[in-house]
Every structure is written in C-alpha cells, then in structure tokens.
Amino acid sequence: MKNKRLACMTLAAVLAACALSGCGSSSKSGGGKTGSDGAKLVTIWSPTDEPAIEEWWVEKINAFNEEHKGEIELKREAIVRADSYAYEDKINAAVTSNDLPDILFVDGPNISNYAADGIIVPIDSYFTEEDLSDFVESIKVQGTYDGKLYALGATESSVALYYNKDMTDAAGITMPDKMEDALTWSEFADIAGKLTTSDVAGTNIIMDKGEGLPYVLEQFWISNGTDFVSEDGSKADGYVNSEKGIEAANFLNSLIQDGYANIDPMKQEFHNGKCATMLGGSWEVATLEQSFPDLNWGVTYFPVADNGGINTSPTGDWAACITRNADAEAAGVVISYLMNKENVTSYAQAIAKLPTRASSYDTLTEYNEYPRSLFKEQSLNTGHPRPRTPGYTVLSPGFSEAMMNMFTGADVKESLDQLAADFDSNYQKNYAE
C-alpha cells in the first residue's frame, strides 16, 4: 500500500485535562517502561466516563496490580472527550511524537483507520477460539481489519424507537411488539406527523450533530438496500449517493422539513416530554428508569424501509486495542484480563449497556425482560457496525456535515455527491494499492 497517514482532524488548541487512576512511578507512555518494584508498566488511555465506570476502573486496576505485583503494573489515563474530537486529537499527537500508550480504547469505526496506519497491532493470539466464540459477532466484525482481529470491547450498543405512551395512547396508536411488524418509514412518518403539536415534536432523529448522525442514520441506507461505502470500504460513490441512498436521505430530510423533528432539539427532549418519539440508544433505558420515573414510555424496533426493507439496527462501541509502542506480551495479559467474562459482565452492568459476551446474559437476567430484551434481540439478530474503512475519519464528519446542510436547505443529491467525492479522493490518495 501507499504510505498511509491519519486523516486530519482539527487539533484542539488545548488538550483536555486528564484524570489519573492507578499508580506508577513513570508518567511516560508506551512499552518498555517500568513501574514500582521494577514491574513492567502498561499504560491505558480511555475517555472519562460516568462515576460508576470510573469506580469500576479503580477497582479493576487495583485488583490486577495486586495479582501481578512485581511483574506488571497497570496505569490508566482518563481523557476528557465530551462531544468533540479532543481524545482523537491526543492520539494523533501521540502518533506524531511516538508517545502512544500500550493500550488504547477507541470508538469502533476508528479501528480500521488505526490498523491501516499501523498504529495498532493484531490481538488474535491473546484469545482462544473457544473464548472468541463467546463474543457476539458484531463486536468481532467491528474489530477486524484485513482478516485480523485488532480490538475487542466489553459492551455493545443498539438504537430503537422510544415513544411516549400517554401520547400514543391518546392518539389511538399501537406500537409493534414483534420485530417482523416493525414500523415502515411511511408508518413512522405518519405517526410523527399525528403526534406533532405546537409544543411537541413528533420525533427526534438527531442524537447529536457529530458521530451520533452516522451511528444512527446509516441504518436507513442499509434497510433500503445500500450503505455508505462499498463492502471493502474503498468507495463511496454509487453507495452513499446511490438512488437508494438519496431515497434514505430524502426521507430523513422530510421529517425535518415537514416540521415533525427539530434540527436543534433541546437536551433530553424526549425525557422532558417535548417530543413524542425518539431514535435513542439502549443506554437510555437506565436513564429513563432512574431519572424520569414519572414518564410513561415504551420502545419498539428500529423502523424499516418501505417495500420490504430489511430489519437493521446500529451496533458498535468503544474497544481495547494494543498499540505498536506496547510491550506486547504484558499488554496481552492486560487485554485478556479486561475482556474476561467477569469483567465484561461487571462493566456492562456498571455502564448499563449490552454485554459483548453471550455468556454474560446468564448473569444479566434483566435482559430477558422488556424493554431490555428488545435491545438484546436487535443486538443478536439485526446489528450492523459502522463501515470498516480506514477512511472513516473523513466519512463520519463529512456525513454529519452533509446531513446538517440538507436539514438547512442544501440540495440532497449535491450534498451526497460531494461527500462521496471527498471520501473517494481521500481513499485513493492515502490507502489505494
């Protein structure tokens, strides 16, 4: 392949403040470092998270360090990410300075980019075939590039259509409770229209204006029989801007233009009763239960395209990978530890997300009951990870920009054509053989 490089992201003027957990005498990143008592120091970078997850990290790091005292010492740097690219910017800076940590936690679609650029190394050898068979297929697909496994995560995600039951009941609307009866796009739009009032939006399709857009909205392309890029991840022209792709974009744009969804939805619009339905993540179940106990809500399956569209739903989450700078043997011990059944189960429970190990459901029995069972069903049967392509760092922000441009009046076809051209140009320049 040609010399590869990371697609440029805007470098933050000031890198986000970092919180430290774990301990060690050295602050430098990468392999070959020593911690206390001469132990091999293994460093991890991951984004900061909710208190329950930060507590999980402290507990697991302490347990690992006690078990491997004098041999391997584990240290984590938690980096504030927010809704920006500050975390990815820090990784890019570390690539340039050759100061990467041993283990990186990265968002799923970035794995192919980092693998293609030689930033991370395969991890197949640290897991047995039997062990890998316990992981759901979608997380293995997400972590695979060029036939090799580069990353594994402890949790999966899914998105479905939440609805305000008081509003749907008042309108005489019954939502589907079987996957084969999932709402079609036309039915979804009709319901959104019926539930739209001067005070309440019919639906919310904007999770956020960054990665949330491709993460959620790609499924409209897939259900309609296409995708953002070709199967090998090398070409967008004829895919994201295909006839079926334009149909998907036009449908989404119509929800905004017809006034059924807000282009600038308020924070927790659905939770606060300001929209009747919402395309929301599986993690919202815990938020609604804990923080909005008086809201009467339900959830149904991700909508499908008219005329026989396939059932599909988003998947993907953060995953652990080993960098080229690592002491591979020591990092392999750590990544095996982090992804064992006990830790996958406890992490999924702490973060209120779907576990990636099928055996974890033996413990997490709450996923046998609605509404969590619906997300489990989607994860196991209809989940599609985001495109596996080294050009994702161009595709993601480009798609988000294109959709927001359409929502504010830009021509749909022209916007998608420009996105396809930008992606293909970048791929040919940096990754084509």
Residue 284 domain-assigned (yes or no): yes
Inter-CA distances, 119 with 176, 234, 388, Å? 45, 20, 16
For residues 336 and 233, membership in a common domain is answered with no
Residue 101 and residue 31 share a domain: yes
Q: How many domains does the chain have?
A: 2
CB 203 within 8 A of CB 279: yes
What pLDDT is attached to residue 18?
34
Per-residue confidence (pLDDT) for residue 88, from 0 to 100: 85
Range of the domain at 414: 159-314+391-430
* Tokens matching residue 75: 């240290």
Where the chain has pLDDT below 70, the residues are: 1-32, 82-84
- DSSP structure string for 234-283: ---TTTTTSHHHHHHHHHHHHHHHTTSB-SSPPTTTTTTTSBSEEEEETT
Asked if the structure places residue 329 within a domain, the reply is: yes
Residues 410 and 399 in one domain: yes
Which CATH number do you get for residue 178? 3.40.190.10
DSSP 51-101: HHHHHHHHHHHHHHHHHTTTTEEEEEEEE--TTTTHHHHHHHHHHHHT---
pLDDT tens digit string along 124-160?
Answer: 999 999 999 999 999 999 999 999 999 999 999 999 9
Do 192 and 295 lie in one domain? The reply is yes
Look at the block and give the residue holding tokens 């003027």: 13
| Residue 167 and residue 263 share a domain | yes
Nearest CA to 168 out of 146, 207, 196 is that of 196
Q: Are residues 110 and 149 in the same domain?
A: yes
Do 210 and 136 have their domain in common?
A: no
Residue pair 97/29 in contact by the 8 Å Cβ criterion: no
* CB neighbourhood size of 401 (10 A): 17
151 and 198 in a common domain = no
Tell me if 11 is assigned to some domain: no
pLDDT at 83: 59
pLDDT of residue 23: 34
Quick one: 50 and 80 in the same domain?
A: yes
- Same domain for 180 and 286, yes or no, is yes
* Residues pairing with 356 in the sheet: none
| Full-model pTM | 0.86
Structural domain contains residue 4: no
Residues 274 and 226 in one domain: yes
Q: What is the pLDDT of residue 433?
A: 78
The reply to whether 189 and 250 lie within a common domain is yes
- 275 and 203 Cβ atoms separated by less than 8 Å: yes
